[in-house]
Structure 1
Amino acid sequence: MGKLKIVEDVNWEIEVVYADKDRYTRMAIWEDISKYHTGDVSLLVGGDFYCIMAREEKKGGKAFHFTPAANDMASFMMSNDLIDLGFNGPAFTWTNKKDIRSQIFSRLDRFLISSSILDSFQGLKVKHLTRLASDHCPILCSFIGEVKMVYSHWIKF
């Protein structure tokens, strides 16, 4: 776990995840993050979650089914008030790199953030970058400082 101080009164906890194939090992990761997370500090969790959360996150191979592992991750997200920001770029972050008939694509990599972050940082964006040599494509989370909406009481035509 790391800490990021953006400005004087804005602190985030940062977690990088490289989840295991084994559901119970992943559950231990979710439990550790929950245990060591300071509840009143915003949390940003990113990396390879090794979990598909929706039918749209998989192409090829066996049909998608919402698994107990996906339920574990959904519970982890709910208990820590984490949301998936979505993304720009390629839809899938992983491929098995097989021939065209056996190819499987999945979205295993993502960033999750505390919903409270969106209150101050509406400019937060996630981008899936081009896959080069790896079976995973890199993902980038970036933000444009505080974005405050300024409203005028004047109506102009």
Structure 2
Amino acid sequence: MIWKDSVSVKLLSQSRQSLTCEIKLPGSSLFIYTAIYASNESAERTDLWIELLNLCQSFALSTVPWMIGGDLNQIIHYDEHSLASVNSFSKRMVELKDCLLQMGLFDMRFQGPLFTWTNRQPDDPIAKKLDRLLINNLVLNLFPNCTSFFLPALFSDHSPCLIDLSYKIPSSVWSLKLGLAPEALSRTSVDCFGNRKKSRVF
């Protein structure tokens, strides 16, 4: 994780599949963010769901704004699979859905494609919604206009997610440095958002 000095970040917990931090933006209340990179193995993913439930209880995360973002490697509804043959709930779907219900988490309002992963096999294409940005109700109280954007997958088989909290950080502390040359940043911007001549890239 990378952040500016003006943002306070405190590590609360980490494991092979998750990283949980307490984040404080200037002029705002703190919130909790958990980054997820779930295992390809279903048994290990079950361990992750149990780990998240334990985190929720240990840190009383149902009482503070909490976000979870990343690759969960599991859909929660058969509509999140591109194949028509996947048309019923599996044990794994129900397992994750029940976990999210217990934690009071749901998808942040988002724009972009439903399917965030593809196998990139033209002869046998499969797409799924494996990546999510999840929040509880307290996040909406803190950032009522927050939105997530799933962008085109340029270099990966997953779509990157951009979160807009619609929160204005005081200008005296706002500065973003990107590790891209200006021409590379410009090409990426055009690829993702089109050629908007009046747009500015900061």
TM score, norm. by length of structure 1 = 0.83
1:59 aligns to what SS in structure 2?
coil
AA of the residue aligned to 2:35: V
Matches of 2:26 and 2:139, distance apart in 1: 13
Which deviates more from structure 2 when the two are superposed, residues 128-137 or residues 22-31?
22-31
Superposed CA deviations along residues 78-124 of structure 1, whole A, max 9, x for unmatched, are 1111111242012211000001x410111100111111211231111
Matches of 2:54 and 2:77, distance apart in 1: 27
Superposed CA deviations along residues 23-51 of structure 1, whole A, max 9, x for unmatched, are 22112112212222322222110000111
Matches of 2:92 and 2:50, distance apart in 1: 13
Unpaired segments ≥5 residues, structure 2: 1-19, 169-202
Change (3 A) 1:91 1:72: same
Q: How far does residue 54 in structure 1 lie from its aligned partner after superposition?
A: 2.0
Q: How far does residue 70 in structure 1 lie from its aligned partner after superposition?
A: 1.3
Would you tell me which structure has more strand in proportion to its own residues?
A: 1
AA of the residue aligned to 1:102: D
Aligned partner of 1:12 in structure 2 is 31
Change (3 A) 1:18 1:105: same
2:126 to 90, 99, 104: 104
User: 2:50 matched to 1:31?
Assistant: yes
Aligned partner of 2:21 in structure 1 is 2
* Higher-RCO chain (CA-CA 8 Å, sequence separation at least 6): 1
User: 2:83 matched to 1:56?
Assistant: no
Superposed CA deviations along residues 107-149 of structure 1, whole A, max 9, x for unmatched, are 1001111112112311110111011121111111221128xxx
Change (3 A) 1:86 1:23: farther
AA of the residue aligned to 1:105: A
Matches of 1:64 and 1:141, distance apart in 2: 31
Aligned partner of 1:94 in structure 2 is 117
- Percent identity reads 26
User: 2:151 matched to 1:129?
Assistant: yes
TM score, norm. by length of structure 2 = 0.65
Aligned partner of 2:140 in structure 1 is 118
Query: What is the root-mean-square deviation in Å for CA atoms of aligned residues?
Result: 1.9
2:105 to 53, 70, 82: 82
- Give yes or no for contact 1:52–1:70 (8 Å, CA) kept in 2: yes
AA of the residue aligned to 2:101: M
User: 2:160 matched to 1:142?
Assistant: no
Matches of 1:51 and 1:76, distance apart in 2: 12
Q: How far does residue 64 in structure 1 lie from its aligned partner after superposition?
A: 3.7
Would you tell me which structure has more helix in proportion to its own residues?
A: 2
Aligned partner of 2:10 in structure 1 is none
AA of the residue aligned to 2:48: I
Number of aligned residue pairs: 145
